[in-house]
Amino acid sequence: MEKRYIEGRIFAEKNFQQTVIENYEFADCDFENCKFEECKIIGCIFKSCRFDNCTVITLNSQHSEVKNVSLKNCNLIGVHWEELLPSGRYAYAMERMEKCYLKYNSFVDMSFVKFDFSGNFIQESIFENCNLAESSFRNCRLERTQFDGCDIRNADFRESCGYLIDITSNKIKNAKFSYPEVVRLLDALDIQIE
C-alpha cells in the first residue's frame, strides 16, 4: 500500500481513541491540543513535526518512525520510543522536548548526545543502553526513572531528583550531580551511610 503524504498541515483539537493510523507520512505538521489514546500506528512516518500540548497514552507502533520531532507541554504515557527509531544514520527521533510529562516510557539503544531534557518530569521510565553523553537532565524530576547500561559521561544532573542510576552498569565519568541527591548513586553498592 502506498503512503499518503501530508505536509505543513495543522491538526488542532483532534481526539484519536483506539484509532488505527496506517501508511501516512506527516512532514512539518503541527499537532496542537490533540489526544492519541490507545492508538495503533502502522507504517507511518512523522518527520520534523511539532506536538504542542498533546497527550499520547499507550501508543502501539509497528514499522513506524519519528524523525526530528519537537514536543512541548505534552503528556506521554506508555510510549516505547525504541519502536519509533528513525531509519537512516543522521536522523534523531526527537529534536526537542520542553516542559513535558513522561510516565512509563522506555528508551532503548537510542542516541541522545547533547540532548536537553532539562525541566521535564520523567516518571517511572527507563533509559537502557542509551548514549546520553553531554546531555542535560538539569532540574528534572526523574522519579524512579532508571538508567541502565548508558553512557552518561559529561551529562548534567544538577538539581534533578529521583533518578536510579546504577554506577556499576553506566559510564558516568565527569557527569555532574547535586548534593544531597548524588548520594543515591551509592544505592547499588549496598552500603550504609550514617
Cell (9 digits) for 94? 526527537
Contact present, 154 and 177 (Cβ < 8 Å): no
Q: Is residue 144 part of a domain?
A: yes
Cα separation, 57 vs 40, in Å, equals 11
pLDDT of residue 173: 96
Q: Which tens digits make up the pLDDT trace of 62-75?
A: 999 999 999 999 99
Q: For position 108, which CATH number holds?
A: 2.160.20.80
Q: Is residue 42 part of a domain?
A: yes
Cα separation, 49 vs 34, in Å, equals 13
Q: Is residue 37 part of a domain?
A: yes
Q: Is residue 155 part of a domain?
A: yes
| Predicted TM-score of the model (pTM) | 0.91
pLDDT of residue 34: 98
Q: Is residue 6 part of a domain?
A: no
Q: Give, for 27, the enclosing helix (H) or strand (E).
A: strand 24-27
Q: Is residue 4 part of a domain?
A: no
DSSP state of 86: P
Q: Which tens digits make up the pLDDT trace of 130-178?
A: 999 999 999 999 999 999 999 999 999 999 999 999 999 999 999 999 9
Q: How many domains does the chain have?
A: 1
Q: Is residue 126 part of a domain?
A: yes
Domain of residue 131 covers 12-189
Q: Is residue 115 part of a domain?
A: yes
Q: Which tens digits make up the pLDDT trace of 118-137?
A: 999 999 999 999 999 999 99
